[in-house]
Amino acid sequence: MAFWSENPPDKDPKRNFRFVVRVAGFGKDTGNSQGYMWFAKTAVKPSFAIAAAEHKFLNHTFYYPGSVTWNDVTVTLVDPQDPSTVMEFAKMIQAGGYVPPGTQNALGTMSKGTAVGATGKVEIAQLNAEGTEIEQWTLWNAWVTDIKFGDSLEYGNDDLTEVSVTFKYDWAQVQAGSDDAIAVFGVNSSTEAE
């Protein structure tokens, strides 16, 4: 049977354009307590790879699952004038421990604790047509590894300026379903392990 003949009209599939991104460390001093990034344009959902160990025996090859490695997540944002995405991420990186040369305490370096603390909780949520979250990914111990502050500037290009941010994290937790939350990966949804 085809999808459209079996599926009742109240069972709407997830849509790629219905999503929000929250980064708790973004705009801390601007009163953005929710961390919503209304200017998010694209977000890559978390994914992982499982390594495989190989064992050869005579003319046969057998595989065994190894460690799980979570892949980086990249978010593309439009850069509004207020709040300036460039300035907010610059503040976040400095709060994470980066000290530019020639400034006071220029010997300081970043640590995982300060980088994760400055970034705060990172969440990507998909919404239904009513704006209710139907799937929420939380990146645990996330920190910024790469920022691109837009492409080249040119007089003949009237596109919006975009900023690309890449997050590295230890693992992700997903909550989905109609009940309160179903933890698939990571900690149970009733536990906050920050």
> Tens digit of pLDDT per residue, the chain (194 long)?
455 566 566 678 888 899 999 998 887 665 555 667 888 999 999 999 999 999 999 999 999 999 999 999 999 999 888 888 889 899 999 999 888 887 777 777 889 999 999 999 999 999 988 888 889 999 999 999 999 998 888 999 989 999 999 999 999 999 887 555 555 555 544 444 44
CATH architecture of 15-183: Roll (2.30)
Nearest-angstrom CA–CA distance, 1 and 128 = 25
Per-residue pLDDT at 13: 85
Nearest-angstrom CA–CA distance, 64 and 53 = 5
Per-residue pLDDT at 190: 46
Nearest-angstrom CA–CA distance, 139 and 124 = 8
Two structure tokens written together for 158:
């009237």
Per-residue pLDDT at 193: 44
The model's pTM? 0.80
Two structure tokens written together for 72:
């980086």
Rounded to 5°, angle at Cα 81 from 76 and 84: 60
For helices 112-119 and 85-95, give the axis angle rounded to 10 degrees. 150
Beta-strand (E) ranges in 44-140?
48-57, 60-70, 73-78, 122-127, 133-140
Nearest-angstrom CA–CA distance, 27 and 89 = 9
3-class secondary-structure state, position 43:
strand
Residues 6+ apart with CB under 8 A from 64: 52, 53, 55
| Length reported for the chain | 194
β partners of residue 5: none
Per-residue pLDDT at 7: 59
Q: Strands 60-70 and 73-78: what pairing? A: unpaired
Nearest-angstrom CA–CA distance, 189 and 184 = 9
Nearest-angstrom CA–CA distance, 117 and 62 = 43
